[in-house]
C-alpha cells in the first residue's frame, strides 16, 4: 500500500491564492491544538466552502473537527445545498468531547464538550440546535432546513463561535448563513448563499451564486460568482470579487478535473490586486498494473498600486503508480515535481509569521511498500531536491540548495482493522553539511479495503515533502493514506 504522505505540505502560497486554489492532499496534517482557527478564519476571509460542506461543531474551528469521521446527522441535513432525501426519524441527537493533546506556550488549551440534536417538525421542516462549553468559552448553533418541494430547499444557520486562539481579535464571533438550492432538471441545479459574520473580529458579508451542469455521465461543468466585503479594525476594509469555472471529465481510463478562476481584491491599506489561477489534475490507466498521473497548478498575482503584492506560483507534477495485479503485495509510486513558489513580501503563514523562503525546486522521489506476510509490510522512500532558494524577509539573492531524504518504514497489522507504523528518517542538507535523523510513530484504522485513517507523532521537525521548508513538523498529526 502506497503511503501518499505522512506530513502536510506547507508551501508558501500568496493569500489570494491560498483561499482560491483548493489544496487536495492525502498527507498527514500536523495536529494543531484543538480549536485552532484555519488560515481563512484568522484572516477573516469570508469566502464560502462549496455548497454541501458541513460546518464545524459550535465553538470549535474546522481544525478541531475529527477528520475522516462523518458529521453528526443534523449537520448533513442543514449543510448548504444538502441533497434532499426521504424523511428520517423525528428526533436525533449526538454529543462530542475534545481535548488538547499538545500545545506550545503561545497557544491556549481548547478542551470542549457539547450536545446537539435535530427535530423533524413536519415533512418539510427540520430544526437543529447545539450547545458546547470549554476552555475558550461558550459556543452554540441553531439551524433550520425547509424543503419547498422535491426540487428545492432553503436553509438558515446561525453559529456562535467561541474565542479562537489564532485570531488577532479576542472574543466570540457570530455567523449567519442563509441560502437556497434549486434543481432545475436532472442535469442542472443552481444555488445562492449569503453569509454575515459579526463579533469581535472582522465584519464581513459575502454573496455566492453558482450553477452546476452535468449533461452526461462523462462531463460536469460548474460556474460560481462570489462577492464580499470585509471591515477589519486592524487590516482595514477590503472588497473581494471572484469568478470561477470548473470542468470534470471521466471516460473509462481517463479522469480529468480542472478549474479556472479570476479574483480581484481591493484593500484600503495595500491597494488593489488581480489574481489569475488554474488547477488541473489528470490520471490515465495504462493497464491493470500501471497508472499515470499529473497535476498542473498555476497562479499569478499582480499588485496594482504596489509590487509588494506581486506573487508567482506554479507546480507541475508527473508521476506513475505501479501495483502489479499478479503480485499485489507491491505498491510503488514514482513522482517528479517542478515547483516555483515566489510569495509576496507581505505574506504571512497561517501561524502569523512571515514566509521565510521563496524557492525554485525540482524534486524526484520514489515510495514503495511490500507486504511480506499477512501482518507485516516493509517499505521505504527516497527523495532528492535540487534547485535554488531565496530569503523573502528581507529579500535576498538566489543560492543553490540540495537536500536528500531517506525513510525506512514498517507497518504491522493488528487484527483486520488496525495498523501500527514505525518510520526511521534521515534528512541530509548539502550546503550546510547538516544531517537530521529521527522517528515517526503512527496508529491507523482501516476504513475499508482502500483507505485508512490514523494519528501519530513526528519526533523530527521536518516533513517527508522536500518542498516544505518550514521545519515546524514536530508533533501530533492526522494522516489518511490509500491504495488503488
CB 40 within 8 A of CB 47: yes
**Mean pLDDT to the nearest integer, 396-423:** 92
- Position 480 scores a pLDDT of 85
Distance of CA 183 to the CA centre of its chain: 28
CB 318 within 8 A of CB 335: yes
> Would the pLDDT of 290 be above 90?
yes
Place of cell 525546486: 361
Per-residue pLDDT band for 416 (boundaries 50, 70, 90) equals: confident
Minimal CA–CA distance to 481: which of 52, 8, 31? 8
Output DSSP code: residue 151: T
> Would the pLDDT of 56 be above 50?
no
Cβ atoms within 10 A of the Cβ of 64, count? 22
> Would the pLDDT of 82 be above 60?
no
- Position 253 scores a pLDDT of 93
CA dist 154 → 78, 124, 179, 184, 191 (Å)? 9, 10, 6, 15, 10
- Buried b / exposed e across 376-396, counting CB within 10 Å, b at 16+? ebebbbebbbbbebeebeeee
CA 7/CA 473 separation, integer angstroms: 7
CB 383 within 8 A of CB 405: yes
Distance of CA 309 to the CA centre of its chain: 24
- Determine the 3-state secondary structure of 374 from DSSP: coil
Per-residue pLDDT band for 236 (boundaries 50, 70, 90) equals: confident
Half-sphere exposure of 232 (CA within 13 A, CB side): 21
- Buried b / exposed e across 202-228, counting CB within 10 Å, b at 16+? bbbbbebebebeeeeeeebbbebebbb
> Would the pLDDT of 77 be above 70?
no
For the chain, give the mean pLDDT. 80
Please enumerate in sequence order all residues whose Cβ is within 8 A of that of 445, keeping only pairs 6 or more positions apart, or say none: 417, 418, 419, 452, 453, 454
* Residue-wise DSSP of 229-248: EEEETTTEEEEEEEEEEEEE
Is the dihedral angle over the CA atoms 66, 332, 259, 14 positive or is it negative?
positive
Minimal CA–CA distance to 367: which of 30, 6, 23? 6
pLDDT one-digit tens code per residue, 101-146:
877 777 788 889 999 999 999 999 999 999 999 888 889 999 999 9
- Position 272 scores a pLDDT of 84
**Structural domain count, the chain:** 1
Answer whether residue 1 is part of any domain. Answer: no
> Would the pLDDT of 55 be above 70?
no
First to last CA, the chain: 8
- Determine the 3-state secondary structure of 308 from DSSP: helix
Identify which has the larger pLDDT, 309 or 463: 463
Is the dihedral angle over the CA atoms 388, 393, 397, 399 positive or is it negative?
negative
Answer whether residue 433 is part of any domain. Answer: yes
CA 15/CA 363 separation, integer angstroms: 24
- Position 88 scores a pLDDT of 56
**Mean pLDDT to the nearest integer, 407-429:** 93
Identify which has the larger pLDDT, 279 or 481: 279
Identify which has the larger pLDDT, 269 or 31: 269
Is the dihedral angle over the CA atoms 282, 284, 290, 292 positive or is it negative?
negative
- Position 15 scores a pLDDT of 36
Backbone angles phi, psi at 417, to 5 degrees: -125, -5
- Determine the 3-state secondary structure of 20 from DSSP: helix
Answer whether residue 6 is part of any domain. Answer: no
Range with lowest mean pLDDT among 208-212, 351-355, 451-455: 351-355
> Would the pLDDT of 284 be above 70?
yes
- Position 171 scores a pLDDT of 65
- Position 30 scores a pLDDT of 37
Per-residue pLDDT band for 6 (boundaries 50, 70, 90) equals: very low
CA 166/CA 107 separation, integer angstroms: 8
With residue 75 as reference, give the H or E element that holds it.
helix 73-78
- Angle CA 38–24–262, to nearest 5: 80
CB 408 within 8 A of CB 418: no
> Would the pLDDT of 377 be above 90?
yes
Containing domain of residue 317, as a range? Answer: 15-482
Cβ atoms within 10 A of the Cβ of 117, count? 16
Residue 405: give its domain's CATH number. 2.40.170
Place of cell 522521489: 365
CA dist 445 → 313, 415, 451, 452, 478 (Å)? 36, 10, 9, 5, 12
CB 427 within 8 A of CB 435: yes
Backbone angles phi, psi at 11, to 5 degrees: -60, 140
Per-residue pLDDT band for 347 (boundaries 50, 70, 90) equals: low
With residue 371 as reference, give the H or E element that holds it.
strand 357-371
- Position 348 scores a pLDDT of 59
Burial of 415 (0-12, 13-18, 19+ CB in 10 A): exposed
> Would the pLDDT of 31 be above 90?
no
> Would the pLDDT of 16 be above 70?
no
Minimal CA–CA distance to 452: which of 472, 430, 479, 474? 479
The x, y and z cell numbers of residue 312, run together, are: 508567482
**Mean pLDDT to the nearest integer, 357-384:** 94
Answer whether residue 445 is part of any domain. Answer: yes
> Which ranges constitute the DSSP H helices of 45-194?
73-78
Amino acid at each position: 500500500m502506497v503511503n501518499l504522505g505522512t506530513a502536510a505540505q506547507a508551501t508558501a502560497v500568496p493569500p489570494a491564492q491560498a483561499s482560491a486554489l483548493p489544496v487536495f492532499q492525502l498527507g498527514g496534517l500536523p495536529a494543531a491544538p484543538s480549536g485552532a482557527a484555519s488560515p481563512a478564519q484568522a484572516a477573516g476571509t469570508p469566502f464560502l466552502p462549496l455548497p454541501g460542506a458541513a460546518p464545524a461543531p459550535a465553538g470549535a474551528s474546522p481544525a478541531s473537527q475529527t477528520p475522516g469521521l462523518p458529521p453528526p446527522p443534523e449537520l448533513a441535513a442543514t449543510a448548504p445545498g444538502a441533497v434532499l432525501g426521504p424523511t428520517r426519524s423525528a428526533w436525533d441527537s449526538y454529543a462530542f468531547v475534545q481535548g488538547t493533546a499538545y500545545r506550545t506556550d503561545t497557544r491556549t488549551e481548547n478542551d470542549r464538550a457539547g450536545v446537539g440534536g435535530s427535530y423533524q417538525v413536519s415533512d418539510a421542516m427540520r430544526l437543529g440546535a447545539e450547545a458546547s462549553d470549554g476552555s475558550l468559552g461558550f459556543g452554540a448553533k441553531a439551524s433550520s432546513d425547509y424543503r419547498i418541494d422535491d426540487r428545492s430547499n432553503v436553509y438558515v444557520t446561525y453559529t456562535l463561535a467561541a474565542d479562537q486562539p489564532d485570531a488577532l481579535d479576542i472574543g466570540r464571533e457570530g455567523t449567519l448563513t442563509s441560502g437556497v438550492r434549486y434543481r432545475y432538471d436532472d442535469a442542472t441545479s443552481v444555488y445562492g448563499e449569503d453569509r454575515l459574520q459579526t463579533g469581535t473580529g472582522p465584519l464581513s458579508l459575502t454573496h455566492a451564486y453558482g450553477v452546476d451542469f452535468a449533461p452526461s455521465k462523462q462531463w460536469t461543468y460548474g460556474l460560481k460568482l462570489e462577492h464580499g466585503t470585509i471591515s477589519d479594525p486592524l487590516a482595514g476594509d477590503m472588497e473581494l470579487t471572484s469568478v470561477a469555472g470548473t470542468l470534470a471529465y471521466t471516460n473509462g481510463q481517463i479522469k480529468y478535473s480542472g478549474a479556472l478562476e479570476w479574483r480581484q481584491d481591493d484593500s484600503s491599506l495595500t491597494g488593489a490586486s488581480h489574481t489569475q489561477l488554474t488547477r488541473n489534475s489528470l490520471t490515465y490507466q495504462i493497464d491493470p498494473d500501471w497508472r499515470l498521473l499529473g497535476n498542473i497548478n498555476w497562479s499569478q498575482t499582480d499588485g496594482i498600486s504596489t509590487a509588494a503584492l506581486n506573487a508567482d506560483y506554479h507546480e507541475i507534477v508527473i508521476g506513475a503508480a505501479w501495483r502489479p495485479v499478479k503480485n499485489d503485495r507491491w505498491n510503488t509510486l514514482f513522482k517528479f515535481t517542478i515547483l516555483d513558489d515566489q510569495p509576496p513580501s507581505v505574506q504571512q503563514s497561517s501561524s502569523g509569521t512571515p514566509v521565510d523562503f521563496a524557492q525554485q525546486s525540482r524534486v524526484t522521489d520514489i515510495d514503495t511498500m511490500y507486504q511480506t506476510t499477512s501482518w507485516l509490510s516493509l517499505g521505504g522512500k527516497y527523495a532528492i531536491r535540487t534547485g535554488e532558494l531565496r530569503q523573502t524577509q528581507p529579500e535576498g539573492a538566489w543560492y543553490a540548495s540540495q537536500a536528500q531524504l531517506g525513510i525506512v518504514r514498517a507497518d504491522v497489522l493488528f487484527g483486520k482493522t488496525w495498523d501500527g507504523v514505525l518510520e526511521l528518517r534521515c534528512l541530509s542538507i548539502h550546503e550546510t553539511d547538516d544531517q537530521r535523523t529521527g522517528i515517526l510513530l503512527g496508529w491507523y484504522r482501516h476504513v475499508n479495503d482502500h483507505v485508512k485513517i490514523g494519528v501519530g507523532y513526528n519526533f523530527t521537525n521536518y516533513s517527508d515533502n522536500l518542498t516544505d521548508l518550514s521545519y515546524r513538523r514536530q508533533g501530533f498529526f492526522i494522516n489518511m493514506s490509500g491504495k488503488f
